[in-house]
Amino acid sequence: MSPQYPGFRNFAAYMHWIKTVFLKLYMVWVLLVFTLFMLIILPVMVLPGFFGQKYGHITYFGLWLWSWIFSLLTFIRYEITGLENVSKKTSYIYTSNHTSFLDLPGLRIAIPTQFRPLAKKELLKIPVFGLIVRVACVVVDRSSTESRKQSIKTLTRRIRSGISLLIFPEGTQNRTDQKLQPFYDGAFRMAKETLTPIMPVVVVNAGNLMPPSSVRLKPGKIKVIFGKPIEVYENSDVAELKQTTYNTMLRLLEKES
């Protein structure tokens, strides 16, 4: 049937309408799942934070549970590979690319031990979610030099207490057509200062299912891929650590292209 045939055009328009309606209904469903289960699990995620860091594992179990339920009920599947490279007995500085909100549930499901992400102050303004950010993350105000210094001190204390860190070395969500933006030095300076191995991890296809700064969303599969750890020594060079990590993550992403 020719695309110029009126019946074909009417059918295509009808199918487009069906798809649009389906995605709008799907978005309502996702919002319901996101909000309802976050409120149900909120006490598990937030209350332990008021009793000190030793109860942080309860918060992170709550985050894992919410992420798993969100994935299951929204038909967004996370496929995890390279987990054999991660030792549960070792603390890491996880460095990940960042293209979507959907990175976060996938990373929580994938990372097998407790960790602390570095988060922007702006996330505190999101209703309910901001409470979780306050207790589960190290929050930094990038416009304040003093806040940046304080966040570095807090992250350093966490890593020395045996808790892994999660840092997005690009600094923000990647809104470009490049696979990776240039990295900042912070994660690599901290790795050298604390002699903590770097664990490169990439999230693939999250930005296609939910683009940065967008509320448009569709179901699908997202891959979370762990590379091999990058060892850090007293004589390690920060610039070399940054470049090695960048090259490793870029190769992982290019393999999935």
User: Can you list the domains of the chain with their CATH numbers?
Assistant: 77-255 (3.40.1130.10)
pTM over 0.85: yes
Residue 1, pLDDT score: 47
**Lookup: tokens for 178:** 């490049």
Residue 142, pLDDT score: 67
CA distance 133 to 32: 20
Give the residue ranges of DSSP H helices in the chain: 6-46, 56-74, 103-110, 129-136, 145-160, 186-194, 206-209, 238-255
Residue 6, pLDDT score: 58
* Mean pLDDT of successive 10-residue stretches along the chain, which has 257 residues: 57 77 90 92 88 83 95 96 95 95 94 88 80 82 72 79 91 90 92 94 95 85 97 95 97 90
Residue 4, pLDDT score: 56
Residue 5, pLDDT score: 56
CA distance 229 to 86: 8
CA distance 213 to 172: 11
**Lookup: tokens for 9:** 């055009």
